[in-house]
């Protein structure tokens, strides 16, 4: 078991891609005074005047570890991803080169765009692969650090829960029988929880959002959270929609479209993988606007989300929103939002915050779904099936701060 008094925290990421390497490089640059960790609440926030940095692990005490299905160092990935400038990368090149991914658990049926991957664990069944991940985790733990796992791997094909996901006993049988409905991200989540390592899922894949793994997390007292980092378009949506609702302005339609040219965009170009993202992005408006309680204003909304893979853009995503609203006497108006964002620049501080806060929750003995972290997710994981989850960013921030305040008070 982890020594909670250990000073260092190691952030383990299944997936050594654009987001995770941007996080790593950013932490290294901030430590050297060559960049500021902008966008991180745990760096810039406070509770009743007490800086959150007093409650969480210092940037100086953060280490990294990763798994990936391609054998490239964090430096090679960061250079290829084109998020950070050559000058920034040069300043931390040696540290980034030292981070090499362990072989991943992978099956191309879940991410067909990466079928050519070649850095993959081999085993007779999924339980054997989980055991190999456990051995990796224990090797990391041997250095005496606290551990937390944040999944930054590619979006998996859309998955509806089946019987194998219904309870822990069925899930463990499924791991031994190679059940085709168990995805690689679920094997990572299982291995993490079994080893007492908090697990958060940044991708829209179902992953830990299944009864079997919730049961396991509660049984082992391990924090879990998900899913899908709330970064660009959905962040703006969950800022704007509560404002329009506050003024009781009506909404007839919300059309959201994106162009994106990184590997994430390439994976999401496949309909099975896009479906996971679409489901995650679509849930937001209904929950925010509650059309059943406001039929005149929100009872007849058309909500569409599109993502197009467009290589020239790389990581610099452009997200357009066309919002058809109406006011007094139903007179129509339009709002256009064009967010020229940088995907990984928005996601990196979220991974840092999640890692620190999942660790804080773990040190406070909070097992199971950490609903106070819904602030960070497009599709916050409910604590029980059918629970109405909060999407309003400002309400989410209050819930988050309240939970941190309680943990700080011990």
Query: What residues line the site for ligand NAD (CB under 6 A)?
Result: 14-19, 67-70, 81, 104-106, 111, 114, 152-155, 184, 202-203, 228-229, 231-232, 262-264, 343-344, 346-347
- Which is nearer to ligand NAD, 228 or 278 (by Cβ)? 228
- Which is nearer to ligand NAD, 68 or 95 (by Cβ)? 68
- Which is nearer to ligand NAD, 78 or 216 (by Cβ)? 78
Query: For residues 116 and 71, is the Cβ–Cβ distance under 8 A?
Result: no
- Which is nearer to ligand NAD, 59 or 348 (by Cβ)? 348
Instruction: Round to whole Å and give the CA distance between 370 and 50.
Output: 22
Query: Residues near 315 by Cβ (< 8 Å), separated by ≥ 6?
Result: 18, 81, 82, 83, 260, 261, 262, 342, 343, 344
Query: For residues 55 and 408, is the Cβ–Cβ distance under 8 A?
Result: yes
List the beta bridge partners of residue 306: 257
What's the min distance (Å) between Cβ of 335 and ligand NAD?
Answer: 22
What's the min distance (Å) between Cβ of 277 and ligand NAD?
Answer: 6
What's the min distance (Å) between Cβ of 374 and ligand NAD?
Answer: 14
User: Per this entry, what is the length of the chain?
Assistant: 410
What's the min distance (Å) between Cβ of 267 and ligand NAD?
Answer: 6
Instruction: Round to whole Å and give the CA distance between 240 and 128.
Output: 47
What's the min distance (Å) between Cβ of 351 and ligand NAD?
Answer: 9
- Which is nearer to ligand NAD, 57 or 233 (by Cβ)? 233
Query: For residues 306 and 256, is the Cβ–Cβ distance under 8 A?
Result: yes
Of the candidates 341, 367, 362, 354, the residue with the CA atom closest to the CA atom of residue 400: 354
Query: For residues 183 and 233, is the Cβ–Cβ distance under 8 A?
Result: no
What's the min distance (Å) between Cβ of 260 and ligand NAD?
Answer: 9
- Which is nearer to ligand NAD, 238 or 325 (by Cβ)? 238
- The Cβ of residue 350 has, within 10 Å, a number of other Cβ atoms equal to 25
């Amino acid at each position: 078991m982890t020594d909670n008094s250990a000073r260092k925290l190691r952030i383990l990421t299944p997936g050594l891609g654009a987001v995770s390497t941007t996080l790593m490089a950013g932490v290294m640059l901030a430590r050297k005074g060559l960049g500021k960790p902008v966008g991180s609440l745990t760096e810039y926030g406070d509770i009743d005047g007490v800086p959150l940095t007093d409650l969480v692990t210092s940037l100086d005490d953060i280490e990294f570890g990763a798994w990936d299905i391609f054998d490239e160092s964090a430096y090679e990935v960061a250079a290829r991803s084109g998020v950070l400038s050559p000058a920034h990368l040069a300043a931390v090149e040696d540290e980034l080169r030292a981070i090499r991914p362990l072989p991943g658990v992978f099956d191309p049926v879940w991410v067909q765009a990466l079928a050519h991957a070649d850095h993959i664990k081999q085993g007779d069944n999924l339980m054997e692969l989980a055991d190999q991940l456990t051995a990796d985790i224990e090797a990391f733990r041997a250095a005496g650090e606290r551990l937390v796992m944040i999944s930054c791997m590619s979006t998996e094909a859309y998955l509806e829960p089946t019987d194998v996901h219904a309870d822990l006993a069925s899930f463990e049988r499924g791991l031994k029988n190679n059940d085709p409905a168990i995805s690689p991200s679920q094997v990572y989540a299982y291995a993490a929880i079994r080893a007492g390592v908090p697990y958060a899922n940044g991708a829209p894949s179902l992953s830990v959002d299944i009864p079997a793994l919730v049961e396991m997390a509660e049984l082992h007292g391990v924090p879990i959270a998900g899913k899908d980092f709330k970064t660009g378009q959905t962040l703006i949506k969950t800022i704007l929609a509560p404002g329009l609702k506050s003024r009781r302005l009506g909404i007839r339609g919300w059309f959201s479209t994106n162009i994106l040219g990184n590997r994430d965009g390439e994976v999401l170009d496949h309909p099975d993988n896009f479906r996971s993202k679409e489901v995650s992005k679509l849930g937001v408006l209904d929950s925010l606007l509650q059309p059943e309680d406001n039929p005149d204003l929100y009872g007849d909304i058309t909500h569409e989300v599109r993502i197009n893979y467009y290589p020239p853009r790389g990581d610099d995503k452009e997200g357009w929103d066309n919002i058809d609203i109406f006011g007094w006497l139903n007179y129509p108006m339009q709002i256009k939002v064009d967010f020229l964002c940088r995907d990984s620049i928005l996601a990196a501080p979220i991974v840092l915050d999640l890692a620190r806060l999942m660790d804080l929750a773990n040190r406070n003995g909070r097992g199971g779904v950490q609903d106070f972290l819904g602030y960070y997710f497009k599709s916050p994981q409910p604590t029980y099936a059918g629970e109405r989850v909060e999407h309003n960013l400002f309400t989410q921030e209050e819930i988050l701060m309240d939970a941190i305040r309680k943990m700080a008070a011990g």
